[in-house]
């Protein structure tokens, strides 16, 4: 699956309230999305902004976890 297709797939499945992780020691909670940007809040209360493209790169590298489950791109 290419980066563009993976980005669109993530846009379709990611929703407010989901937990995202790409670093072993950090869970981020989706608090919203705006266009190409995902707004995330850490357990420590730190706001982070990531693009869907960045999340797609983490998924392609095998480092993306959604709601505690490793996300594996299909295709």
Domains in the chain: boundaries: 3-70
Rounded to two decimals, what is the model's pTM? 0.88
What integer pLDDT is reported at residue 44 of this predicted model? Answer: 92
Among left, alpha and beta (phi > 0; psi -120 to 50; other), residue 44 is alpha
Please state which CATH number belongs to domain 3-70.
2.30.30
Over the stretch 11-65, which tens digit does the pLDDT of each residue have? 999 999 999 999 877 899 999 999 999 999 999 999 999 999 999 999 999 999 9
Rounded to the nearest 10 degrees, how much is the dihedral formed by the CA atoms of 57, 63, 67, 68?
A: 180
């Amino acid at each position: 699956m290419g980066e563009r297709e993976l980005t669109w797939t993530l846009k379709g499945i990611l929703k407010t309230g989901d937990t995202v992780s790409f670093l072993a020691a950090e869970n981020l909670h989706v608090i919203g999305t705006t266009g190409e940007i995902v707004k995330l809040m850490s357990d420590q209360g730190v706001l982070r902004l990531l693009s869907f493209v960045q999340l797609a790169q983490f998924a392609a590298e095998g480092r993306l976890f959604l709601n505690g489950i490793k996300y594996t791109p299909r295709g």
